[in-house]
Amino acid sequence: MDTVIREKTSARKAQIVETAQQLFREKGYSATSMRDLAKAVGIEPASLYNHISSKEAILQHICFHMAEEFFSAIEDIHLQPGGPQEKLRIAVHRHIGVIVNNLEASNVFFNEWRNLGEEDLQKFRSLRINYEYKFKEILQSGMETGAFKPVDVRIAIFTIFSAMNAIYDLEKPGVPIETDEVASIISTIILNGLNV
Amino acid sequence: MDTVIREKTSARKAQIVETAQQLFREKGYSATSMRDLAKAVGIEPASLYNHISSKEAILQHICFHMAEEFFSAIEDIHLQPGGPQEKLRIAVHRHIGVIVNNLEASNVFFNEWRNLGEEDLQKFRSLRINYEYKFKEILQSGMETGAFKPVDVRIAIFTIFSAMNAIYDLEKPGVPIETDEVASIISTIILNGLNV
DNA sequence: CCTACCGATCGGTAGG
DNA sequence: CCTACCGATCGGTAGG
């Protein structure tokens, strides 16, 4: 009995978060009201608060859940076989995989995180620095061994993440994104460039 | 006399737009109130409307002004000497130049355009398609002549723009972005990749 | 999960 | 450019 109730409640909560992701993506976090959300879910605005504590708590949940997904995807990257090039290729593939498997949440994650409260904002920023550092290590070791060109690491990292993190925008209604295809093209451009 | 008044008015208007850019960038368009803006400018909220017609009109102005900047920067790209590689390199450099010279406006342009009204939204989208098409042409002709690898043009264009359009985020307080340096690294990665 | 409602704030206007 | 103010809407709570 208890279980049934808890299941119902948590299903509703999942539905609220899911719906919020769609709305935040379409209109942005600030422009989405709790009344919009309640209407889309099909309940009264006040009823939302039986499942979530505040509007910001939803954003918080989305952002930090995505952060976890990204981290766990490349957790074992330093254990992967191959040199810096192979490691970078794998990391890029995994990172893009997380985005493609969470298109809506990714969009919110990348575009709306600045609406977090000051405390979460700091936590979020330091998580991102940590995450990017794992890529930086690969790049740096590749430059030391001579596998990569000696370019400015900061700008290179920046270029790589820019190329990867925008792919949620690549989606067109009815045309699903193929992780392998996109990851392979982006890896190729980053590693080998467009020139023949 | 008339001139003096008009100059004063238009200087205030410029100040309002400039201040709005900063606030939209920091907090986002929706989260910035006209009261925030008035306070930052140093006048009463109602006084804003002597210079601008609405909040959305400010966003409109920023977005379409930036669109013009981008277009005029690569207007003569097909007249430039050199093959597809050289043309792409020049276009990338010009595009990045526009962003670096309008960091605040660029940020708003790329992140807040979806808050435009339905009509402007359509105009904006078609401008972007037109603009990206100019890059697409270069890429396609380069693939035909065998100068570029035959990759999926849509994804390649997408990768290039992602790398270019995120650079406003590269700015750190006190460390100005060097257009030439950034443009050269991004061009290098896009054209020649990271591999030695 | 709902009805009823709170104080705060929103974009914008009237009138001077 | 200001004072005064509009109706609408905001996130959220009380109480059942």
Protein-nucleic contacts, chain B 106-165 to strand D, CB < 7 Å:
none
**Of the candidates B102, B55, B94, the residue with the CA atom closest to the CA atom of residue B77:** B94
Q: Is the CB of A39 under 7 A from strand C?
A: no
Answer whether residue B1 shows pLDDT above 50: no
Distance separating alpha carbons of residues A122 and A124, to the nearest angstrom: 5
Closest Cβ opposite residue A148 in set B27, B154, B194:
B194
Residue A62 confidence (pLDDT) above 70: yes
Pick the residue from chain A with its C-alpha nearest to B160. A163
Question: Mean pLDDT over residues B11-21, rounded?
Answer: 96
Distance (Å, whole) CA B53 – CA B64: 16
Residues in chain B whose Cβ is within 8 Å of chain A: 27-31, 85, 88, 111, 114-115, 139, 142, 146-149, 151-152, 154-156, 158-159, 161-167, 169-170, 181-182, 185-186, 188-196
Its pTM stands at 0.91
Query: What does the H/E/C string look like for B27-85?
Result: HCCCCCCHHHHHHHHCCCHHHHHHCCCCHHHHHHHHHHHHHHHHHHHCCCHHHCCCCHH
Across A129-153, average pLDDT: 96
Whole-number pLDDT of residue A168: 87
What Å value separates CA A10 and C1' D6?
A: 42
Tens digit of pLDDT for each residue in B30-62? 999 999 999 999 999 999 999 999 999 999 999
Mean pLDDT across A67-86: 96
Q: Which nucleotide is nearest, taking the CA of residue A16 and each C1'?
A: C1
- Report the percent of chain A where pLDDT is more than 70: 95
Of B54, B165, B63, B162, the residue nearest B122 (C-alpha): B63
Instruction: Please give the pLDDT value at position B196.
Output: 80
What confidence category does residue A4 fall into, taking pLDDT thresholds of 50, 70 and 90? very low
List strand residue ranges (DSSP E) for A23-178, in order.
none
Q: Rounded CA gap, A88 and A145, in Å?
A: 14
CB pair distance less than 8 Å for A191 and B193: yes
User: A120 pLDDT band (50/70/90 cuts)?
Assistant: very high
Contacts of A188 in chain B (CB under 8 A): 149, 151, 193
User: Is the pLDDT assigned to residue A149 strictly greater than 80?
Assistant: yes
B4: pLDDT strictly greater than 50: no
* C5 nearest neighbour residue (CA to C1'): A46
Nearest nucleotide to B43, CA against C1' atoms: D1
Confidence of residue A10 (pLDDT cuts 50, 70, 90): confident
| Dihedral angle computed from the Cα positions of residues B36, B40, B43 and B46, in that order, rounded to the nearest 10 degrees | -20
Strand partners, A195: B148
**A34 CB and strand C closer than 7 A:** no
CB contact under 8 A, A158 and B170: yes
Distance from CA of B27 to the nearest CA of A (A): 7
Chains A and B: how many Cβ contacts under 8 Å?
134
> CA A40, C1' D6: Å apart?
30
